[in-house]
Structure 1
């Protein structure tokens, strides 16, 4: 168990290191490399990770509170039962990441690449996903009420049984995904009809 508070790191290579069970408070990591690093059960609070590479790292059962992971790479990262509370993930790439059992409470995931990830049955109420790429991802039975999906890419995204009521869905192509079994509100229903050419009075 280790604890770092208010430390600054830039271009440091932490690849393949054992950083399990650590505690990071108010630390900043800029363009650092964590490839294949063990970060299981690590706790971060108020930290900033800027343009860091977490390729192949493990974050199993880790907890992140009000931390920021901006423009980071999570290619092949294992995020099994990781928890992100009010975190800022803007511009990060989760291509190939394992996100089974992840918990996301609020936060800003705008401009992220979440293609083909599995977020089924997740409670994602109020999350920001502006301009995020959610193509072919699985949101089956997810709670996306009050989420901001403005401009998100939803090509072949699975929403069966999901709840989208109150979600902001400006600049969305409703024809890009299957709406079967999706709960929507009246305003969204009108926009769906318009997207198929209907004239709503």
Structure 2
């Protein structure tokens, strides 16, 4: 009996070790790929999931379709890097620099990128759903057709950025800067845009259904044909705005200035 119990315990221990080994392999990044990237080599399609690249200089590298999910790019530099189709889901992007980088079609769902810099970067058709970009800088960036449902962009800067044709349902853009930003045809239903600086913003045909734009500055904005059904525009500044064919529906306009 004693021998049998000992054998059972040993078998269980071996089974547990095997499971743990498989688990670590499932989430382990490719060490050779990590070394290559840190040495400044291109690494398209590389598995860097879960890797620690904090503070790394990846400027100009080819990382197309690389798997960086769950990795840390805290404070990393990726100016002009090519991350087309890369997976950065759940990645730590705090204070990372993506100036003029290409992230077209990249997955950034659930990424944590407060204070990240995307000046003049290209993120066309990227997935930013549920991501946190508090105070991030997207000035002059291209974000056409982005899927940003539930994203958090409070106090971020989108001055002169192109967000046309995107979907940002339930996202939070409160206190953002959107001077001359392009929101043409963008879906912004139930979005929080309160206190946003949207002077000269271009949003013809945009859908603001049930959105909150209280205290927003939309001076000189182009809202031609926009949908404002159930939107809240309390004390919103609409002076000089183009409002032809706007669908006001039951919009709340108390204190709005025209």
TM range (shorter): 0.7 to 0.9
Q: CA RMSD in A?
A: 1.7
1:92-119 deviations in whole A, cap 9, x for unaligned? 1111212233232221111111111222
Q: Aligned-pair distance for 1:48?
A: 0.7
1:82 aligns with 2:156: yes
Runs of 4+ in 1 over 3 A off after TM superposition: 173-176
Unaligned runs of at least 5 residues, structure 1 = 185-201
More relative contact order, 1 or 2 (CA 8 Å, 6+ apart)? 1
Matches within 5 A, 1:122-133: 122-133=196-207
* Match among 72, 76, 89 for residue 2 of structure 1: 76
Deviation at 1:90, TM superposition (A): 0.6
* 2:233 equivalent among 147, 159, 164: 159
Q: Look up the match of 2:109.
A: 35
Aligned equivalent of 2:136, options 62, 65, 76: 62
Q: Whose helix fraction is larger, Structure 1's or Structure 2's?
A: 2
Pair 159,6 (structure 1): closer, same or farther in 2 beyond 3 Å? same
Q: 1:14 to 1:170 in 2, by over 3 A?
A: same
The number of aligned residues is 184
Match of 1:193? none
* CA pair 173-78 structure 1, distance change in 2 beyond 3 A: closer
Structure having the higher strand fraction is 1
TM-score for both structures, normalised by structure 2 = 0.67
Cα gap change, 1:121 to 1:101, in 2 (>3 Å): closer
Distance change >3 Å, CA 173–CA 100, structure 1 → 2? closer
Q: Which protein shows a greater Rg? A: 2
Matching residue of 1:173: 247
